[in-house]
């Protein structure tokens, strides 16, 4: 819903100045920072001055949209003769002696949205700027407060406004000079340390390769030696049982004791071999997850039968199973869950001389089940709580003489839990017992089969937030997925609303794209009654794809944004970032005639918050800068045709690119005069001894951070 904040009629130059002042006042009251206030004031002033100069008058109005998307809208209208050359102006082909056109193009770059319509009856310019995410929500009460403050404000004189503009310009020049000095210092430090960094990276790569080979050899050794041990161990245990069963004659008392020791030792060694083999499989990624649906109560019943023999030697310990209420069926690898709990319980039995061992399970809000095994045993010292999860580690205690373990059970439990998408931890107090915990998802995240269905159900990655696309046509997904594959989001596609509801019961996306135009009336019903996850208080934003005439209906039904077909992948990605409040990727232009150098830069700067573009010569770079308007440029100096110095000079000669940040990335040995010239023209300098020499990613990101385009890693 749009609300009018203020309007000004343009009758003379004083009104143009007042329009600039009013834009700044409104921007400050709405929570824009100082830089955005200047941009809004400048854009308003440019369009108001055009209206007064070419139409001898007009009107400036300020409105604010306070719906799901909060936007400051500025409209400048006049009744003049109109503008005949709009297409040429926006394409950069129109040149006017009065400078008309430059203000329009420059203003468009300052705003988030910009639209201009012109006819012989007049011109209307509509500009929009999204309110800052950090600003408080603009409610009706706050809107009234803003209106009251605007109406009570006394307009400043034109001389005060000019004085303010001069101060802003002076501050900007001082900040620019400070940045140039910082960059010059950084460049000198980079020149001194670059060789050492390159050598360090080479040494680290060599060390990492050595460690990978050592890890592979260890895994191969464990796997092979475990298999080789099994045959003789099985033979030893079989022979010991033959002797104990007196199949070849009677044994003396001492002989029976000795053979019993042999059998127990062989069993212990066999357990170690089995644990080693399991550990080797997990590390080699060769463990197969066998997913099935099972009840926790059934799992506990099976564990009771398996563990009963272990209590035969220790009748002073009670084993208590307590299942939580309303536990849903789990769909994961039952064998591995059972193995983890068996390890926990068998350890508790070994180190609990008397008392109770309690096994319980409860439902967690995050869609997982927490298993807890608590004993009243000897406990673990606080300094060894992590040691027990290290391979072959055992804590010395009086019971260790009686129960010798392998030191592999708990490390194996932790790795199996991670494999199932869960985690393991322990709490303990010396002399008062221990509690071992394992939290596992109800549904294994890598699950490919839905219960009762053989169709594939896509699973999200652990590393990226998901965007759920609900569209009946597979072609829609294939058109937009390539753009999402290189972004910070993972795009998940389901074809029907039924599968979408099943998927949403198991996972929580960051946003949903709903193709209502393809789904019809059921799509509208789904939007109106969109399920809200129980474990989050924040609504998942829905982008509704509808016919153009239905966009407002989609917003009224709960959509965060309404868009129309045909879908354009990059535009949709920007929409997702907007509704999820993700930072827009900054455009970075790489200019170099050497393909290898471009490849190295691409690898170093491959970040979701950077949108990389490439140009292979100076003229191509200038054309791309004019067309794409990048946020910064990394420029090589030595190129055929138009060189880097000429490109820099042309950029600084044009008003719209005069302050465009440029980092020079070159292997050229610079003279003192060239370095001085670059200090005036470029925002930074990074030397490369050869085109094929790679730099540290952090070096480039740190340089970009000083220009506020590096993203989280550079800041």
pLDDT of residue 360: 92
Mean pLDDT of the region 51-80: 89
Q: Name the pLDDT band for 136 (thresholds 50, 70, 90).
A: confident
CA–CA separation, 684 and 682 (whole Å): 6
Residue 578 lies in a domain: no
CA–CA separation, 189 and 57 (whole Å): 56
Residue 432 lies in a domain: yes
- Residues 114 and 52 grouped into a single domain: yes
Mean pLDDT of the region 219-229: 58
Residue 67 lies in a domain: yes
pLDDT of residue 515: 93
Two tokens, residue 155? 């307009």
Alpha helices in 629-688 (DSSP H): 644-653, 672-681
CA–CA separation, 184 and 93 (whole Å): 37
Residue 458 lies in a domain: no
- Residues 130 and 219 grouped into a single domain: no
- Residues 543 and 595 grouped into a single domain: no
- For 292, other C-beta atoms within 10 Å of its C-beta total 14
Q: Render pLDDT for 559-604 as a digit per residue (tens, 0 to 9).
A: 888 898 888 888 898 888 888 865 566 788 999 888 877 877 777 7
Q: What secondary structure, in 3-state letters, does 133-181 show? A: CCCCCCCHHHHHHHHHHHHCCCCCCHHHHHHHHHHHHHHHHHHHHHHHH
- Residues 265 and 408 grouped into a single domain: no
Global pTM reads: 0.33
- Residues 315 and 276 grouped into a single domain: no
Under 8 Å CB-to-CB from 618, ≥6 apart: which residues? 591, 639, 641, 642, 643, 644, 646, 647
CA–CA separation, 507 and 500 (whole Å): 10
Mean pLDDT of the region 389-410: 60
Residue 302 lies in a domain: yes
Residue 112 lies in a domain: yes
Output Rg (C-alpha) for the chain, integer angstroms: 35
- Residues 557 and 648 grouped into a single domain: no
Name, of 96-105, 359-368, 613-622, the range with top average pLDDT. 613-622
Distance of CA 131 to the CA centre of its chain: 23
Two tokens, residue 427? 């709490």
pLDDT at residue 143 tops 90: no
**End of a domain among 127, 156, 185?**
156
Mean pLDDT of the region 228-252: 73
CATH assignment at residue 529: 3.40.50.2300
Number of folded domains that form the chain: 5
- Residues 546 and 604 grouped into a single domain: no
- Name residue, tokens 């069926």: 329
Q: Using CB atoms within 10 A of its CB, is residue 43 exposed (0-12), middle (13-18) or buried (19+)? A: buried
CB 277 within 8 Å of CB 233: no
Residue 579 lies in a domain: no
pLDDT at residue 513 tops 90: yes
**End of a domain among 223, 253, 284?**
284
- Residues 565 and 633 grouped into a single domain: no
**End of a domain among 259, 284, 309?**
284
What's phi and psi for 646, nearest 5 deg? -65, -40
Under 8 Å CB-to-CB from 43, ≥6 apart: which residues? 23, 74, 107, 110, 111, 127
Residue 546 lies in a domain: yes
- Residues 633 and 669 grouped into a single domain: yes
Q: Which of 67-71, 93-97, 215-219, 574-578 is least confident?
A: 215-219
Domain limits for position 236: 177-284
CA–CA separation, 323 and 267 (whole Å): 32
- Residues 204 and 345 grouped into a single domain: no
- Residues 298 and 430 grouped into a single domain: yes
CATH assignment at residue 100: 3.30.565.10
pLDDT at residue 617 tops 80: yes
- Residues 66 and 106 grouped into a single domain: yes
């Amino acid at each position: 819903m749009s609300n009018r904040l203020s309007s000004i009629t343009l009758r003379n130059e004083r009104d143009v100045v007042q329009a600039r002042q009013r834009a700044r006042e409104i921007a400050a009251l709405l929570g824009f920072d100082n830089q955005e206030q200047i941009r809004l004031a400048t854009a308003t002033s440019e369009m108001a001055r055009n209206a007064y100069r070419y139409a001898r008058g007009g009107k400036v109005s300020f409105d604010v949209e306070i719906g799901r998307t909060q936007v400051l809208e500025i409209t400048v209208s006049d009744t003049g003769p109109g503008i005949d050359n709009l297409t040429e102006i926006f394409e950069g082909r129109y040149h006017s002696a009065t400078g008309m056109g430059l203000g329009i193009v420059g203003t468009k770059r300052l705003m988030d949205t910009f639209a201009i319509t012109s006819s012989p009856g007049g011109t209307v310019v509509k500009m929009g700027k999204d309110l800052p995410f950090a600003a408080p929500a603009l409610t009706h009460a706050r809107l009234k407060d803003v209106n009251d403050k605007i109406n009570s404000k006394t307009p400043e004189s034109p001389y005060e406004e000019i004085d303010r503009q001069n101060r802003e310009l002076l501050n900007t020049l001082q900040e620019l000079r400070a940045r140039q000095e910082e960059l010059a210092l950084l460049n000198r430090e980079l020149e001194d340390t670059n060789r050492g960094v390159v050598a360090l990276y080479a040494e680290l790569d060599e060390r990492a390769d050595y460690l990978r080979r050592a890890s592979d050899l260890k895994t191969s050794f464990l796997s092979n030696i475990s298999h080789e041990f099994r045959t003789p161990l099985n033979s030893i245990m079989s022979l010991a049982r033959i002797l104990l069963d007196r199949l070849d004659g009677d044994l003396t008392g001492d002989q029976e004791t000795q053979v019993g020791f042999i059998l127990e030792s062989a069993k212990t060694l066999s357990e170690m071999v089995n644990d080693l083999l399991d550990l080797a499989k997990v590390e080699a990624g060769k463990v197969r997850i066998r997913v099935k649906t099972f009840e926790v109560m059934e799992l506990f019943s099976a564990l009771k039968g398996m563990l009963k023999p272990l209590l035969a030697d220790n009748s002073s310990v009670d084993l208590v199973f307590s299942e939580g209420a309303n536990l849903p069926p789990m769909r994961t690898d039952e064998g591995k869950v059972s193995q983890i709990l068996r390890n926990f319980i068998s350890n508790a039995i070994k180190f609990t001389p008397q008392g109770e061992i309690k096994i319980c399970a409860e439902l967690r809000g995050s869609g997982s089940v927490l298993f807890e095994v608590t004993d009243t045993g000897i406990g673990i010292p606080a300094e060894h709580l992590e040691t027990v999860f290290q391979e072959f580690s055992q804590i010395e205690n009086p019971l260790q003489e009686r129960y010798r373990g392998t030191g592999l059970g708990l490390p194996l439990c932790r790795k199996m839990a991670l494999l199932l998408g869960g985690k393991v931890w322990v709490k303990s107090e010396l002399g008062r017992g221990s509690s071992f915990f394992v939290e596992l998802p109800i549904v294994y995240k890598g699950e490919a089969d839905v219960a009762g269905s053989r169709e594939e159900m896509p699973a999200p990655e652990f590393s990226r937030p998901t965007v759920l696309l609900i569209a009946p046509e597979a072609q829609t997904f294939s058109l937009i997925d390539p753009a999402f594959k290189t972004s910070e989001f993972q795009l998940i596609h389901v074809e029907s609303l039924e599968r979408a509801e099943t998927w949403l019961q198991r996972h929580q996306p960051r946003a949903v794209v709903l193709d209502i135009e393809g789904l019809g009336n059921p799509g509208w019903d789904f939007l109106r009654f969109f399920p809200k996850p129980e474990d989050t208080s924040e609504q998942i934003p829905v982008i509704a794809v509808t016919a153009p005439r239905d966009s407002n209906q989609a917003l009224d039904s709960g959509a965060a944004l309404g868009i129309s077909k045909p879908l354009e992948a990059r535009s949709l990605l920007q929409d997702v970032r907007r509704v999820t409040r993700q930072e827009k990727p900054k455009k970075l232009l790489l200019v170099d005639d050497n393909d290898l150098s471009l490849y190295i830069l691409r690898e170093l700067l491959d970040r979701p918050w950077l949108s990389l573009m490439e140009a292979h010569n100076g003229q191509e770079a200038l054309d791309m800068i004019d067309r794409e308007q990048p946020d910064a440029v990394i420029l090589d100096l030595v190129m055929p045709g138009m060189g880097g110095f000429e490109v820099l000079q042309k950029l600084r000669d044009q008003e719209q690119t005069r302050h465009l940040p440029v980092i020079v990335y070159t292997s050229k040995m610079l003279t003192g005069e060239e370095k001085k010239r670059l200090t005036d023209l470029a925002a930074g300098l990074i030397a490369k001894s050869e085109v094929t020499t790679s730099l540290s990613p952090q070096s480039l990101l740190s340089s970009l951070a000083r220009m506020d385009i590096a993203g989280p890693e550079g800041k």
